[in-house]
Amino acid sequence: MCGVSFVSVVHAVSSEPYFKYVWNERLLDKLRSVVHPDWLLYIIHGFCGQSKLLIYGRPVYVTLIARRSSRFAGTRFLKRGANCE
């Protein structure tokens, strides 16, 4: 092959999520000690959106990332005392 070599590089980041936002944490509790962490899928309820605005003719991107906590019932239930915090 004409002396050409190819280098394959894989970049990945593996980290634990904030469990405050993981909705299937209790389902994964038993699996965590048995299964390799790469096989676990954490479900996080949220929204990610991006809009492009033109300000004085220049593009500006506004990004919104929101997550919903799995530990709070919501504002309606907070008023009724459903949460201990």
Segment 48-84, tens digit of pLDDT:
999 999 999 999 999 999 988 887 766 666 666 555 5
Record the pTM: 0.55
Cα separation, 35 vs 19, in Å, equals 18
| Residue ranges per structural domain of the chain | 25-80
The predicted pLDDT at position 69 comes to 83
Spatial separation of the C-alpha atoms in residues 60 and 75, rounded to whole Å: 33
Rounded to an integer, what distance in angstroms lies between the CA atom of residue 24 and that of residue 17?
A: 12
Asked if residues 40 and 32 have their Cβ atoms less than 8 Å apart, the reply is yes
pLDDT greater than 80 at residue 12: no
